[in-house]
Chains A and B, each alone.
Chain A
């Protein structure tokens, strides 16, 4: 068997293993997927909203926080991270309209530093971080706090829902967010949630004040989650809780966001590489999962590029020789297709992942999002997901060059 076929089979097997793993996780835990523990204690909560140039959305975010049905929000701290637009002016205007609203104005130093500064001031037993373009649902806090009755829980995340869903790119991301939310919930059952997204996360103050947010990591939310798991805290997810968020509606900001995620992931791998097979599920699953994801992405794109280039070269030479002697470039013989085992495996894997995605979309449809068209689904499965490894390579490249891109 050729080396490329062996690599291909290995790639297929690892992908297949993860699919089986996710399916088994679902089958074992399907009855609890959309349940959250009941609220038994009225924990005091501090809400932190880091803001940088958020004049368009900050007011609505504050409104949605004050609209939350929870009566022990002790303070809402908006950290203006040296915004160059009118964010600060807007905050000054509404400062006295909301009880407990505080504004912390500082020089621009990044989101992680903003949060660390605010952590020193806040007094709640739980700390909620909400991005300045995110909007927690009214019942979100009540559904999330119950998890903290387990004293080993250090953080709770929720399902992020894109608010803008009009354009094609937005609709594709809606699908992606559904799959991410569903699989992240499943990973909770093996204590392997790898991120409490910055969109909205609830932390135990004791836990997050100790670990803080890493200034050097451009995805401070992923790093903070890994840090909590490293320190022995459990992370939970309330799938029935929704946090609305603004998603990129153009290719460029979308690409920048994904590149940032990729680079942040590589930074986390580098920072925590010493924990391999140690520190509970961080070293046993989360780190290997990320490394394997990176490895599979790179291998996959390498195979794709290799096959693509060799096919193009082949077509070029064939066309050149055929034209030189006026020979036909396509014959009836070319119509006979004889697929190899590799083709069947590839098709089968695509079909299985397609079914899985369909299933997830069906599961999440009535609860969080609306229906998607079949074309969007096919495009998502074939083109959209294919771009991931490319972004991953760019992320690795930036990491190697020591470039940290935040915005």
Chain B
């Protein structure tokens, strides 16, 4: 072997490691960028939530404008539903960083606060909309559950498109060991996932039940 070719194995290894590591680093940056986008979305939502909470606090005021409060709540619910879909897409393609799970937990708490707020608003202003809370397993390994959840998500998306402002849709991961969510699950007897809770009274946790979901929405 010529002298010039003797070290080529090591040279190739060094070049390959450098370029490959650069690729991994770029990939990591890409995922961090996605996490940053989620953080920005979350911060916007957090502001909106503060606004909603102030409105909740004002529920005791006699001159509360129920229509405005409901409109605000529905707009906010729609926004964080869209955020949830973005988050889901990013999560599905996240390989290197786990920062996105933390964001997911924060969003779940935000959505739980929204749900509690919607219950309070309905008590104060009467039932002007349907609340659909969708409990699902976060990053389920079970193929059956994963696909059932995809069907649930599709069906709920269809319901939302059909009924628009008459429905607020709140997806919540039920297996992230967040105590307030666990409490609510226990309160409404949610043991299997995926499950849907309509207006805190009707529970659907089978595919057959999902077929007739529209009949439970008034």
A interface residues with partner B (beta carbon < 8 Å): 1-2, 5, 9, 12-13, 16-17, 20-21, 24-25, 28-29, 189-191, 281, 285, 310, 313-314, 317-318, 321-322, 324-329, 331, 333, 336, 338-345, 348
Given contacts A189-B2, A191-B1, A325-B207, contact A17 B147 (CB under 8 A): no
Within 8 A of A (CB), among B145-192: 146-148, 150-151, 154-155, 157-158
Q: Determine which of A5, A13, A314, A322 lies in contact with B95 in the assembled complex, contact meaning CB atoms within 8 Å.
A: A5
Given contacts A324-B208, A327-B158, A333-B157, contact A189 B9 (CB under 8 A): no
- Interface residue? B218 (CB, 8 A): no
Closest A residue to B23 by beta carbon equals A345
Residues of chain B within 8 A of A189, CB atoms compared: 1-2, 5, 8
Instruction: Name the prevailing secondary structure of the B interface residues.
Output: helix
Closest B residue to A330 by beta carbon equals B154
- Interface residue? B94 (CB, 8 A): yes
Q: How far, in Å, is A206 (CB) from chain B's closest CB?
A: 22
Q: Determine which of A190, A342, A345 lies in contact with B5 in the assembled complex, contact meaning CB atoms within 8 Å.
A: A190
Given contacts A340-B93, A343-B93, contact A310 B211 (CB under 8 A): no
- Interface residue? B126 (CB, 8 A): no
B5:A340 contact, CB within 8 angstroms: no
Given contacts A189-B1, A338-B93, contact A16 B148 (CB under 8 A): no
What 1/0 flags go to B203-218 for Cβ under 8 Å of A? 0000110110000000
B27:A341 contact, CB within 8 angstroms: yes
Residues of chain A within 8 A of B5, CB atoms compared: 25, 28-29, 189-190
Query: Which of B10-18, B52-60, B106-114 is the contact stretch?
Result: B10-18
Query: Which of B38-46, B68-76, B84-92, B128-136 is the contact stretch?
Result: B84-92
A-B contacts at CB below 8 angstroms, number = 110
Given contacts A21-B8, A28-B8, A327-B151, contact A16 B93 (CB under 8 A): no
Interface centre among A318, A327, A329 (most CB of B within 10 A): A327
B12:A24 contact, CB within 8 angstroms: yes
Per the bound structure, the CA–CA distance linking A338 and B91 in Å amounts to: 9
Within 8 A of A (CB), among B1-38: 1-2, 4-5, 8-9, 11-13, 15-16, 19-20, 23-24, 27-28, 30-31
- Interface residue? B96 (CB, 8 A): yes
A-B contact pairs, 7 of them (CB 8 A): A20-B12, A321-B147, A324-B211, A325-B207, A333-B157, A340-B94, A341-B24
Q: How far, in Å, is A98 (CB) from chain B's closest CB?
A: 41
Residues of chain A within 8 A of B92, CB atoms compared: 338, 340
Q: Determine which of A1, A285, A310, A333 lies in contact with B143 in the assembled complex, contact meaning CB atoms within 8 Å.
A: A310
Closest B residue to A322 by beta carbon equals B151
5 closest Cβ pairs, A-B complex: A341-B27, A340-B93, A21-B12, A317-B147, A325-B211
Given contacts A20-B12, A310-B143, A327-B154, contact A348 B207 (CB under 8 A): no
- Interface residue? B144 (CB, 8 A): yes
Contacts A20-B16, A310-B143 supplied; 5 other A-B pairs, CB < 8 Å: A24-B15, A317-B148, A327-B154, A328-B154, A344-B23
A17:B211 contact, CB within 8 angstroms: no
Residues of chain A within 8 A of B211, CB atoms compared: 324-326
A340:B95 contact, CB within 8 angstroms: yes
Residues of chain B within 8 A of A313, CB atoms compared: 143
Given contacts A326-B211, A338-B92, contact A321 B151 (CB under 8 A): yes
